[in-house]
Amino acid sequence: MPRYLIKREIPGAGKMSPQELKGASQKSCAVLQHLGPDIQWVQSYVTGDTIHCVYVAPSEDLIRQHADQAGFPANEIMEVMAIIDPTTAE
């Protein structure tokens, strides 16, 4: 199944409190549960004004449905073509 990297531009994301991050996570999980088992949130990285999310889903359209229903922006959706890490060098 394809893996996607989603860039969500959210001003002040890096200053969100643990409670705010928990609330956003709960909202995301509730929408994912409604959309069904074909879409999975892997993890997210919070930076200054952006949250970068990794999802597994059959299509970009399903990623957009999640963003729309959760009320989160999906400013860029990029399909991951390969994953490399230090073990790739071996």
Calculate the dihedral angle through the C-alpha atoms of 48, 5, 76, 81, rounding to the nearest 10 degrees. Answer: 140
Which residues have C-beta within 8 Å of that of residue 80, sequence separation ≥ 6?
Answer: 2, 3, 4, 5, 54
CATH number of 3-89: 3.30.70.3090
Q: Does pTM top 0.75 for this prediction?
A: yes
Query: How confident is the model over 1-39, as pLDDT tens digits?
Result: 999 999 999 999 999 999 999 999 999 999 999 999 999
Task: Quote the DSSP letter at residue 11.
Answer: T
Query: How confident is the model over 38-75, as pLDDT tens digits?
Result: 999 999 999 999 999 999 999 999 999 999 999 999 99
Which residues have C-beta within 8 Å of that of residue 63, sequence separation ≥ 6?
Answer: 4, 6, 39, 55, 57, 74, 77
User: Domain coordinates of the chain in residue numbers?
Assistant: 3-89
Confidence (pLDDT) at 1 = 94
